[in-house]
Amino acid sequence: DIQLTQSPSFLSASVGDRVTITCRASQGISSYLAWYQQKPGKAPKLLIYAASTLQSGVPSRFSGSGSGTEFTLTISSLQPEDFATYYCQQLNSYPPGFTFGPGTKVDIK
């Protein structure tokens, strides 16, 4: 099975900071990767799919890049509503394995 790791597990940042989260896959997954944001007590929200395609309605300060085994989620200027936990997810087309990474919690400095 494909395993995902995320770094860092936790980061403390201030409003306006540029934030980068990395997701690494145990084997190449092309661009079959999505990013989600989750706030406490809420369902996850899709931010990015196909590694770099911004979901409709998601602010442009969010961007994704990478392919193969290394991916990044960047928030160009952190806003108060961005403090949350972020998960990457690999969505390999066959066999269907939609594993999530362990998550990165972004907290207020």
Partner 1 sequence: QVQLVQSGAEVKKPGSSVKVSCKASGGTFSSYAISWVRQAPGQGLEWMGRIIPILGIANYAQKFQGRVTITADKSTSTAYMELSSLRSEDTAVYYCARTGEVQGPKGYYYYMDVWGKGTTVTVSS
Residue numbers of the site for partner 1 (CB under 8 A)? 1, 30-32, 34, 36, 38, 43-46, 49-50, 53, 55, 87, 89, 91, 93-103
Burial class (CB in 10 A: 0-12, 13-18, 19+), 102: middle
Q: How far is CA 3 from CA 22, 71, 73, 103, in A?
A: 14, 13, 18, 13
Using the minimum distance from each CB to partner 1, give the nearer residue, 17 or 22. Answer: 22
Give the DSSP H or E segment for 10.
Answer: strand 10-13
Shortest distance, position 35 Cβ to partner 1, whole Å:
10
Q: Which is nearer to partner 1, 65 or 103 (CB)?
A: 103
Nearest distance, CB of residue 102 and partner 1, angstroms: 5
Place of tokens 């092309």: 30
Residue closer to partner 1 by CB (options 32, 82) is: 32
